[in-house]
Each structure stands twice: as C-alpha cells, then as structure tokens.
Amino acid sequence: MSAQSLETPAKIDWDAIRRDFPILDQEVHGKPLAYLDNAASSQMPQQVIDRIVEYQTTFHSNIHRGVHALSQKATDAFEETRSLVRQFLNAREDAECIFTRGATEGINAVMHGYGRKFLKAGDEVVITHMEHHSNIVPWQMLRDEKGIVLKVVPMTDDGRLDLEAFQEAITDKTKFVSCIHVSNALGTINPIKEIAAMAHAVGAPILMDGCQAAPHLTLDVQDLDADFYVASAHKMCASTGVGIFYGKREMLEKMDPFLGGGDMILSVSFDETVYNVIPHKFEAGTPPIMPVIALGAAIKYLTAIGRDNIARREDELLAYAMEKLDTIDAFKLYGPRDTKTSVISFGIGDVHPHDIGTILDTAGVAVRAGHHCTQPLMKRLGIPATARASIAFYNNTDDIDALVGAINDVTEIFGA
Amino acid sequence: MTDLRNLYQEVILEHNKKPRNFGPLEEFTHEAHGYNPLCGDDYHIYMVVEDDVVKKVTFDGTGCAISKAAASMMTTKIKGKSVEEAEQYIAEFRAMMADELDDDGQEHLGHLKVFAGVAQLPNRIKCAVLPWHTLNAAIHGNDGTSTEGEADEWDG
Ligand SMILES: Cc1ncc(COP(=O)(O)O)c(C=O)c1O
C-alpha cells in the first residue's frame, strides 16, 4: 500500500470526489439528499457508470466461450477484475478470487462445498453474536442436516467480541470458525487476525465476512491468514449482483462446487463430469459480467483515492458527527466508540427507530432503521431495532449537519 | 416539518405515549399475532366476543408510534361494537390507506381519520394497517398475520 500512498496527492479535493457521484446531486422531499445508508449499499461514481455504459454499448457479450472480438474483450475485462480483486485483497493468485452473486452466496458456497463435505455430527462450528443473518442461517441449515454443534461467542455490552470468551469457545472439537470482520450493525472492527490464530491453533479454518471491512479498510488476506473471505460489490461503489469470494487454493481445491452447470466443467458425459480448475469450478453458468467489470472500475477508483485516505476521511466525518450528536441529550449510541468504522447506530429517547427513519427521510436524510439483519445482536442489546447512519468518504459535513438537524426535529416532535 | 405534523398528529403521539387497552387478557375468545418482519412491529390482539359483540379488546407488543397509536385507537373504537361493525371499520381503514375512502366511510371512521396522512407514505402504511390486519385475523380465527406473508387477502 505504501507505493500507492506515495502516488496519492497530499491534499485530496473531497468536494471534487463528491461530484463524481451524480446520484448525490438531487433533492428528496424538497431537501438536498444526505445519503447516509452506505453500509446497506454505497453509491457509484461516474467513472464506474461510464465503464458500464462502455461495456453495454461496445463489447457486451458472453465470456470464456466465444472466439469473436467482443467476447475476447469482455473476457479480458472480466479477468482483469479478478486481478484487481487479488491486489485489493492481497491474495496470492488470481485463481483464489471467485465471483459469486454476493457475500451471501460466498458463505453458502463454503457451507455447502466445505461444511457438508468435511463436517460431521458433533463437530463444532463457532460463530458470534454479532453475525449478519447470512452468516447464521447457512450454519443452522448445516446443523439441522448434519448434527454439527453451533457455538455462539458472546458480545459485550458495548458491542465488542470478548477474546477470552472466544478462546473458551474454541476447543479441539472446533472444526470451523465463521466470523464477521466489521459489524454492519455497530461498525465494530473485530480483532480478526487474533481470532484466525485461535482457530488455526486447533486446526480449524476460518471464514471472514468482510462485507463492511472491504469498503473501508486496507485488506491483506495473507496477513490475516483468512481461509475464506467474502464481500459484496454493491457496498464498494460497484453494483448489485456480484460478490467477492476468496479462498486459499488448497481449500478451494478440496471443496466441492456449490452450483453445477456450464463453465465449471472440463468434460461432461452422462456417466461422469470432471470439474474445471479453480476459480472456474465455482463459477457455474454465465456470471454477472457487467457487475464484475463495474467492480473492476470501482476498485481502480478506490485505489486511486487511496484506501488509507478513505479511512482517514471517514474517521474525520465520524468524529465531526459524534461531537455534534453527543450534545443531544436523547441521543444514545449503540456499540463501541473506537476501533470502529463510520457507522453510527443509535436511538433517540424511546422513539422507535422506524419513526426516526421517517422523520429523517422527510429531511432528505437517508438512514436505515431496523434490525439490520442482525436480530440476535439486537436482542442482546435488548432493543428491537436501531437507526443507523453510515458514512462514506463522499459524504460531507453538510450531510452530517442535515442528520443532526433532522434528529433535532425528532426530539421536538416526540418531546424526547 | 409541516408534513411531519400532519403525520405525527398530537392524538397519535398521545396514544403512542399512553396506549389504551394495553396488555394481554388472561381470558379471551379470540386472539391473533401480527408481525412486520421488515421493521419488527410485533403485536398480539386479544378479544372477548359475546353475542357477536366485542366486549373486551386489548393489544400487547412493541412497535413504532404509528402502529402503536393505530392499535390503541382501534381498540377504543371497536370496544362495545358488533363484530359486523368492527369488520366495517377494518374495511374502511384499509380503504383510507389506499386513498379510496368514500364520504360515508369518512363520516363513520370519525377520529381515526388522523391516520389519513400515513396514506401519503407508502413505506409506513403497513405500520398503520398491521393492528387492523391482526384484528381481522383474530375475528376470523387465523393464528397470525404477517405483513409479508400471503396469509391475508389484503396483501399484494
Ligand atoms: C456484514 C454483512 N454480511 C453479509 C451481508 C450480506 O451481503 P449481500 O446481501 O450483499 O449478500 C451484508 C450486507 O447486508 C453485511 O453487511
């Protein structure tokens, strides 16, 4: 990353960067849009949109199958993205970077391809109280099918994982660990490298759910020693429809593919099919070519700004927001105050988050209100839901001011 | 802010703060559970129906101000009314949410018209309608209703 920091201009024109995002320049309910729902889906810069238009208007075609020029060009762009993903994750080789439909599919691919093949009754799979439903439900399906034991590492009151409890949960019966890297509901950055070391100490592989880490942190799957790492492109300034699924070569090679179909085979007869090599073994059928190519453009865009710069910018906006929000009596923050990404999960007195969301929306402020697909986490905090403002580097202090102003409307209306 | 005042009218805020007929009934003839999985609004409705009259009706659970006030005001409205009239209210409330309520219905709904503002907010209609969905389920002996399910003919 150091080479990249050197290339980055010392002073970044964040206003110019914001202008790269055409969607932000609009009014909602007659107010300037303050888009603060980036943890659900981030927005797309013009550079990525242009790339999509270029693909659709000049070389849209299927990949890995045609001898014609368009197909070759599409294949090259598709495979270029794989290389960019490898660099983005610092994976050893391109073949370890697989495209799925999203993070959810990546986790399911591991459950089916590794879990169903290698785990048996009585084996323990360790997850945490902080997981997104997509990292709970597949393991419950495996539990119900195979009789594995699902162990849940508790969370502290301030929304962190207790490493001692983690250590206790991992025993020689532990055969797999699946853990969220950064919490989508609270923003907590988990000590995932230490957790990986604990898993590996008993010989268990680890899957890291990096959905919320990928857009904000500099990643190095080799340094973290991730066996599997998943993320979703729509949270990384690209489009819906594609996810990143990284696996160590030796893991991917011994796993079964999740889906069967075209492209994932070397030969097919009615007696026998020979699977293709990785990554193709895991990419059955025509992949989401346009979203993959868009992801390539998004990674170039993020890398050009510099991921350290992005993290710094988001931390600054978070600090600016917290300073103002902390002066509101009825404001209650859920989750930790540091070692976190720019996610603000909050309540206002006893106002229901859904009402907060509506009032904020009327002020042009887009946040998410709900359980954030983390019902066990909400239950642990003793609340049905939170309002969540999630900041991206292209937000600015006007967005934060709009948020604070709208929260003041909430306290005024509800007398909170 | 003016739009918001239209949505969050004083009556609604007041019922949200001090919900009427709130809490479970130990003995009841009808009961149903209503749940909105998207936002977590979660209510039970309990009724005592005798001779086709709603003698008692209460609700219990958690949710946003709109759903809670809707449930509270619904119970005060239908208590003491015939089941037939309760069903009429259900139909009228639903029509109001669809912006299709006729003048007779307007008249009949009375102060429940404070919820008319919700009809302008598509993503909040489910909140206001959930208690009424649940009441419908209780009357017809369905165990429960979900705003996302197909159990109720109102969905779609
Ligand atoms: C932490 C986390 N894990 C998993 C997911 C699921 O991602 P997707 O719905 O794109 O598959 C999300 C997105 O909501 C998330 O935030």
**pLDDT over 70 at A9, yes or no:** no
Each domain of chain A, given as residue ranges in start order, spans 3-45+306-414, 50-303
Query: Across the interface, which of A351, A385, A415 has its CB nearest the CB of B40?
Result: A385
Q: How far apart are CA A221 and CA B15, in angstroms?
A: 53
pLDDT recorded at residue B148:
58
Cis peptide leading into A279, omega within 30 of 0? yes
B2-148: CATH topology is Sufe protein. Chain: A (3.90.1010)
Separation of alpha carbons A240 and A130, rounded Å: 24
| Mutation probe of ligand 1 site: the residue of A232, A295, A341, A390 with most atoms within 8 A of C-beta | A232
Average pLDDT, chain B: 89
Q: What residues contact residue A290 under an 8 Å CB cut-off, 6+ apart? A: A52, A55, A56, A60, A239, A241
- Per-residue pLDDT, A265: 86
A102 and A242 Cβ atoms separated by less than 8 Å: yes
SS3 labels along A145-158: HHCCEEEEECECCC
Taking 80 as the threshold, does the pLDDT of residue A377 lie above it?
A: yes
Q: Which two tokens stand for residue A186?
A: 């609270």
Global pTM?
0.92
| Per-residue pLDDT reduced to its tens digit, A195-219 | 999 999 999 999 999 999 999 999 9
B12 contacts in chain A (CB < 8 Å): none
Which residues 21-60 of B are in CB contact (within 8 Å) with A? 38-42
Where are the domains positioned within chain B?
2-148
Ligand 1 neighbour A343 (Cβ under 6 A): no
Say yes or no to pLDDT of B144 above 80.
no
The tens digit of pLDDT for each residue in A122-144 reads 999 999 999 999 999 999 999 99
Average pLDDT over all residues of chain A: 95
pLDDT score of B154: 39
Query: Distance of CA A403 to CAs A32, A118, A310, A320, Å?
Result: 11, 49, 21, 12
pLDDT at residue number B156: 28
pLDDT at B22 over 90: yes
Confidence at residue B7, expressed as pLDDT on a 0 to 100 scale: 87
Q: Does residue A2 have a pLDDT over 90? A: no
- Residues A101 and B119: their CA atoms lie apart, in Å, by 36
Show residues of chain A in contact with B63, CB under 8 Å.
Answer: 352, 354, 384
Ligand 1 centroid to residue A209 C-alpha, Å = 8
Q: How far apart are CA A52 and CA A261, in angstroms?
A: 26
Place of tokens 């907590």: A188
What number is the ipTM of this complex? Answer: 0.85
For residue A135, the model assigns a pLDDT of 98
Predicted confidence (pLDDT) at residue A408 exceeds the cutoff of 80: yes
Ligand 1 atom with the shortest distance to the CA of A234: 10
Residue A6 has a pLDDT of 46
Per the CB < 8 Å rule, is B66 touching A384?
A: no
Confidence at residue A3, expressed as pLDDT on a 0 to 100 scale: 43
A207 lines ligand 1 (CB under 6 A): no
Closest CA to A375 of A200, A129, A155: A129
Domain A3-45+306-414 has CATH 3.90.1150.10: yes
Residue of chain A nearest B123, judged by CA positions: A358
Unique residue bearing structure tokens 């003698």: B55
**pLDDT tens per residue, range B110-136:** 989 999 989 888 889 999 999 999 999
Is the CB of residue A395 below 6 angstroms from any atom belonging to ligand 1?
no
Query: A104 in ligand 1 pocket by Cβ < 6 Å?
Result: yes
At A350-367, the pLDDT tens digits run 999 999 999 999 999 999
Q: Say whether domain A50-303 belongs to CATH 3.30.470.20.
A: no
Residue A373 is a catalytic residue: yes
Percent of chain A beyond pLDDT 70?
A: 98
Between CA B131 and CA A231 the distance in angstroms is 39
